[in-house]
Chain A
Amino acid sequence: MTDTDTAGPDATFRKGLENGEILLPRCDDCGAFHFFPRILCPHCHGSALTWHRASGRGRVHTTTVVRQKPERGGNYNICMVELEEGVRMMSRVEGIAPEDVAIDMPVTAFVGEADGNRIVLCKPGRD
């Protein structure tokens, strides 16, 4: 658990990623998590927010295979992952073929890297 940073919600989230953590804002008033990070709770509009480390446990809500020629890098997965905290974000399931990613599949979210940026990626199954 981390206190709200004066750096702003986007910067705080990204700092978390730099430290290998997926941080999620939770509303002190209604108790709901939200994503993407912002300065107010989109559910109840309260503005007292506290950051919590996500468990990483999630499930694929929906998925697609972006088709791309092999010489341009080949097919890849894009999915919506729903974390057990109740938030949904775009991600990619790695470690299996993109077409094998299935809706409702349990996944574990982790901090990975793409093009030099730290981002939330997923692997199949639960740790």
Chain B
Amino acid sequence: MSRDLRGKSAIVGTGHAGFGEAHGLTAYDIMAQAAQAALADAGLKLGDVDGLFCTMMEDSMPALMAAEYLGITPRFIDGTMTGGSSFVNYLTSATLALEAGLCDVALIVYGSNQRTASGKLVTASRPPAYEAPYNPRYPISAYAMAAARHMHVYGTTREQLADVAVAARAWAQHNPEAFERGPLSREDVMGARMVNDPLSVRDCCLVTDGGGAIVMVRAERARDFPKAPVYVLGSAAESSHRQISQMKDFTVTAARESGRRALAAAGVAAADIQVVELYDAFTINTILFLEDLGFCAKGEGGAFVEGGRIAPGGALPVNTNGGGLSCVHPGMYGIFTVIEAARQIRGDAPGIQLKNVDLALAHGNGGVLSSQVTAILGSQATV
């Protein structure tokens, strides 16, 4: 996003639905409930939506399915599918479409019933031809190999990986919306059933139902809505591969580039960010993204998360809703990084509300560390 787009669009509504188990509902039902919630939050109606930004785990044309279900005929539609990062990516395309006058009310929306439907990741994507014969577990085998490499090169430990899960749980324990709120210790994580070495089941995100939605408008009218607007100050993407075998360096993600450009567009530094929402599909993700986004040096992510430094009361608040590890993870988590960042800025976070948040970072990850998208959000004071 160029500097010209800084603060040109704003989030004026957020909503979610079906967290945990949404028995009897389809993915599209949950999507629609989230859309209703976000529009109610913004004081708008479905009929006001003329820009739709959506993808789902089901179907090859999910954005069309969603528009049809909602009974809308959007004049701008973006169904770009980059995995869980898609919804952070839509902040860029929604900003462009709004700014160009191609739509006036942008709805970003997602829903999934993967927990009650199957209990595991639902995906319409085919296993890559040159990897499928080895029976990798998609996507955990890829993340496990990234974790193994990080441990080998930088001496990162299983204890440090566990600390990421423990911190996420500590945030979740204060969040009534979070799915997992029981106690969790380092020992619990390390002693849990191994799935793909070095990752145990507690190093992995949840499998839940859930949906999320975001309503965006042009900045010029952002103050005409019930909730305080949250401005998109910068957003940027970088894609590095699709299949894990094609990842150049298993210890460095494209978040290094997406983060650098998003921060530059917003005109801020990592040190200015007050709250960080990262797509934590696995514990290694948080460590990789803290490094690549510039919160610590490469290789120091393990030490950075030790001793409760990213937990409540720590030096840097990370994944304040409990993240994909403990709050919600319905197949793709990306939209919830933006929703929690926006709510922290607005002052209506469901769990621990941090004081006076003006600048937040939301980071989406898609595929197998393949697509990285970073967004910087700000309060009225930042524009």
Contact = CB atoms under 8 A, between A and B. Distances in A.
Contacts of A12: none
Nearest to A99: B197
A91 B136 CA distance: 10
Interface in A28-79: 35-36, 61-67, 76, 78-79
A37 to B, nearest CB: 9
B133 A114 contact: yes
B136 A78 contact: yes
B194 A67 contact: yes
B133 A64 contact: no
Interface stretch (B79-87, B106-114, B142-150): B142-150
Contacts of B148: 62-64, 103
Main secondary structure of the interface of A (DSSP, over half): strand
Contacts of B193: 67
Contacts, number: 73
A90 B245 contact: yes
Interface residues of B, number: 26
A119 B145 contact: no
B329 to A, nearest CB: 20
A19 interface: no
B130 A78 contact: no
Given A36-B246, A62-B148, A64-B148, 6 more contacts: A61-B149, A61-B250, A62-B146, A78-B141, A80-B244, A119-B133
28 contacts: A35-B130, A35-B245, A36-B246, A62-B148, A62-B152, A64-B145, A64-B197, A65-B196, A65-B197, A66-B136, A66-B141, A66-B196, A67-B193, A67-B195, A67-B197, A78-B135, A78-B136, A78-B141, A79-B145, A80-B250, A88-B246, A90-B131, A90-B245, A91-B134, A92-B134, A103-B152, A104-B152, A119-B134
